[in-house]
Amino acid sequence: AEKFGWSFVLSSFLPNAEELEYAEVDPEAEDWVAVDKAYWRSPEGPGTSYKYRENHPVIHVSHRDSADYCKWVGKRLPGEREWEAAARAGHFGPKNRTLYTWGEEQTTDVAKEYANLWGDGDFPWENKAEDGWRATSPVKTFKPNAFGLYDMTGNVWEWVRGGKHKNRIVRGGSYVDSFDGSFNHAATLGARATLHGTTTTGNVGFRCVKSPQKRVEYHYVYEDDEESGGAQLVMEGVDGKRKYSQQNAGSDDEEDYDEFDEDIAHDPTNPRPDERRGRKKVIKPRTLTSDEL
């Protein structure tokens, strides 16, 4: 918005209604007006301020603005699948998938406790503010989801990673949307739209995420197993004693030794074959599992 000198503002939020007579509108969304000098410090244009909105999500930022800010603070934009997994908070299986953060109820009385949406008024001129807000609301105003995350539905659309420059992805819906899709988007957990990467508007923002440090796990392998690429099979009896198989048996000229023969008397001064083998601490390979079939 700062680079181009203008941004989109909802028509009913214009400080001066006379601007509607000559203002340019978005051809695909005629309720959004291009306002000169509107940007994050002046959300509705000259004469307006972000003051008293410091705890609201930032708006009038492009995809690059958002990504650069995240990088500046040592974080990043979330990936789309990552975002949806966080939004659904564990409710993504065939038996527990829900339509909304709060469940399946499609009533304003329930939705207003969990999300900043438009409500029952006629868009874009009548917002009854059932949830207490006509536009953006402070973060943590509404109840979090099961993961403790706020505003995963409503308030502002959120840029995520992915897509092409002309079709960048936003998720989550915003305060101009309805819970049932009767106007604008349906603010479900699957709400998704694409915008040009340079688009800036009064209902699009972002959130930063940071990946946790991966925990490195180690295990021990026998040195000859590591060289041969095999794995040692170890069986533990009910008494806690381990018995080692001959999976990586030696050459044919070695003594035929049955490691599982309990009748063989071992010389305590002569270590058993499995005890003579050196072991090495190595990084345990990461294993990805999924229950999605």
Residue 118 Cα to chain centre, angstroms: 24
Query: Per-residue confidence of the chain (293 residues) as pLDDT tens digits?
Result: 767 889 999 999 998 877 777 788 888 888 999 999 999 999 999 999 999 999 999 999 999 999 999 999 999 999 999 999 999 998 877 778 899 989 999 999 999 999 999 999 999 999 999 999 999 999 999 999 999 999 999 999 999 999 999 999 999 999 999 988 999 999 999 999 999 999 999 999 999 999 887 777 777 777 665 444 444 455 555 555 555 545 444 444 444 445 445 555 666 666 666 566 677 788 877 665 544 33
Q: What is the C-alpha to C-alpha distance for residues 123 and 118, in angstroms, rounded to an integer?
A: 8
- Strand 192-195 and strand 167-171: the pairing is antiparallel
Q: How far apart are CA 100 and CA 116, in angstroms?
A: 13
**CA separation for the pair 221, 240 (Å, rounded):** 20
Flag whether the pTM goes above 0.75: no
The DSSP secondary-structure symbol of 214 reads P
| Cβ(135)–Cβ(202) below 8 Å | yes
